[in-house]
């Protein structure tokens, strides 16, 4: 596969040839809410679950960096595209992290609905919003404490001028399939989105005006779900993905899109951008060889070997005794050949592809194609 640098170069050249006007992407700060798709270290900082082990982070950070990936996430690429530093996790206090350009409240395993005793993460969307309010209140108090502290926190007006990003809902659907039928999962979608709307309204009432909302991806194409729910070949589509999970994801996205349209009429002077991540990711999986990938659904870092290389008993980098024998979930030699990193999350190479497609503006509502001045600032 072509190097990430050469792919970035191609993106920049294509954007340079397009006129750039009409949309202002010059945000002073970004506040992000979500799950592992955009968690830059929150769950790990909270000390919940197993620690992230090598080879996580190897492609870019050379060590585990709080991300469930071999390198950068979509949000990292988008921050880079806006010429902004990577977002620090809200709960990560080691190393005197700077929050001047925003804060990341996303935590792996999080859901929109309130957490239950079975939840991986206690930091549901409502909790993340509450954490944001505490963060904002603390920042406003610290603004009066002198110039030194102000260098590491957002200015007061950044909370109104900043971009609010959301990538959450995947775990509500994926988790529900373990105890509910497809019809029951689909029936729960309005309740999930009602909770999401409530959180958005609280943020709007506190001054948020610029909303950037990702829909959920093709859950049925994740190695984890194929291994657990795809044992019967009749449950799979022609791409080897679990049909029920993808149907639920599509219906969730239709209703999420409808909610975004509705809120444009409710939230005066707000901008709401809906990003169709599902289509980008599904197109990548369906046409993987066209984009330089060799394995559309197998995990790069896992155990069990092809075709899926995923075993739910052992996470990437772990060594365990299975059936009396030592087993280790190792990484493949070249992750740029894989879309899936660990059975649940995407590789850095796949995240780069998704990010580059988002940056075309063709997969958003409203679209912003040919209006991407910031994309020329991508760092290689």
Residue identified by tokens 């350009």 is 101
Which pLDDT score is estimated for 9? 45
Phi, psi of 75 (to 5 degrees): -65, -30
**Helices marked H in the chain:** 4-16, 42-45, 74-81, 125-142, 147-150, 158-161, 170-176, 182-187, 189-205, 223-229, 243-266, 277-286, 348-358
pLDDT, tens digit, for every residue of 341-374? Answer: 999 999 999 999 999 999 999 999 998 865 554 4
Q: Cα-Cα-Cα-Cα dihedral of 102, 131, 206, 108, to 10°? A: 70
Assess contact for 293 and 350: CB atoms under 8 A.
yes
Measured distance CA(75)–CA(72) in Å, rounded: 8
Which pLDDT score is estimated for 93? 84
**Phi/psi class of residue 120: alpha, beta or left (left: φ > 0; alpha: ψ in -120 to 50)?**
alpha
Assess contact for 104 and 38: CB atoms under 8 A.
yes
What's the distance, CA 229 to chain centroid?
23
pLDDT, tens digit, for every residue of 6-64? Answer: 454 444 444 433 333 334 578 999 999 999 999 999 999 999 988 999 999 999 999 99
Q: Which among 80, 93, 95, 86 has a CA at the least distance from the CA of 67? A: 86
Q: Which residues are catalytic?
A: 36, 342, 345
Residue identified by tokens 């599904």 is 282
Q: Cα-Cα-Cα-Cα dihedral of 230, 233, 234, 237, to 10°? A: 80
Which pLDDT score is estimated for 15? 41
Which residues of the chain fall short of a pLDDT of 70? 1-24, 369-380
Which pLDDT score is estimated for 166? 98
Which pLDDT score is estimated for 21? 30
**How many CA atoms lie within 13 Å of 286's alpha carbon, on the beta-carbon side?**
10
Q: Which residues neighbour 128 within 8 Å (Cβ) at sequence distance 6 or greater?
A: 33, 105, 106, 107, 110, 199
Q: Which among 343, 224, 356, 228 has a CA at the least distance from the CA of 284? A: 356
Using the 8-state DSSP alphabet, how is residue 50 labeled?
A: S
Which pLDDT score is estimated for 201? 98
């Amino acid at each position: 596969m072509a190097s990430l640098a050469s792919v970035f170069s191609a993106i920049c050249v294509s954007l340079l040839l397009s006129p750039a006007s009409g949309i202002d992407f010059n945000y002073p700060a970004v506040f992000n809410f979500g799950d592992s798709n955009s968690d830059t270290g929150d769950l790990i900082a909270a000390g919940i679950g197993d620690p992230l082990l090598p080879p996580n982070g190897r492609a870019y950070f050379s060590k585990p960096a709080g991300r469930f990936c071999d390198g950068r996430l979509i949000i990292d690429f988008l921050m880079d595209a806006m010429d902004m530093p990577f977002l620090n996790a809200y709960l990560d206090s080691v190393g005197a992290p700077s929050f001047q350009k925003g804060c990341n409240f996303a935590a792996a395993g999080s859901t929109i609905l309130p957490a239950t005793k079975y939840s991986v993460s206690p930091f549901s969307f409502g909790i993340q919003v509450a954490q944001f309010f505490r963060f904002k209140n603390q920042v406003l108090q610290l603004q009066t404490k002198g110039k030194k502290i102000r260098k590491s926190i957002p200015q007061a007006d950044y909370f109104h001028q900043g971009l609010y990003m959301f990538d959450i809902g995947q775990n509500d659907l994926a988790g529900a399939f373990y105890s509910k039928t497809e019809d029951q999962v689909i029936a729960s979608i309005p309740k999930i989105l009602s909770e999401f709307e409530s959180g958005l309204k609280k943020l709007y009432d506190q001054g948020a005006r610029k909303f950037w909302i990702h829909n959920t991806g093709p859950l049925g194409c994740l190695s984890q779900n194929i291994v657990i729910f795809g044992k019967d070949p009749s449950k799979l589509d022609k791409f080897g993905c679990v049909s029920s999970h993808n149907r639920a994801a599509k219906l969730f996205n239709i209703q999420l899109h409808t909610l975004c349209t509705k809120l444009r009429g409710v939230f005066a002077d707000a901008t709401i951008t809906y990003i169709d991540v599902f289509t980008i990711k599904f197109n990548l999986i369906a046409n993987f060889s066209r984009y330089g990938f060799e394995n559309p659904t197998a995990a790069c870092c896992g155990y069990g070997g092809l075709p899926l290389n995923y075993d739910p008993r052992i996470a990437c980098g772990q060594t365990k005794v299975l059936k009396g024998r030592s087993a280790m979930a190792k990484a493949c030699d070249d992750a740029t050949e894989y879309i899936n990193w660990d059975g649940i999350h995407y590789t850095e190479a796949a995240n780069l592809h998704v990010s580059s497609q988002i940056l075309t503006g063709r997969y958003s509502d409203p679209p912003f194609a040919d209006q991407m001045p910031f994309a020329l600032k991508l760092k290689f």
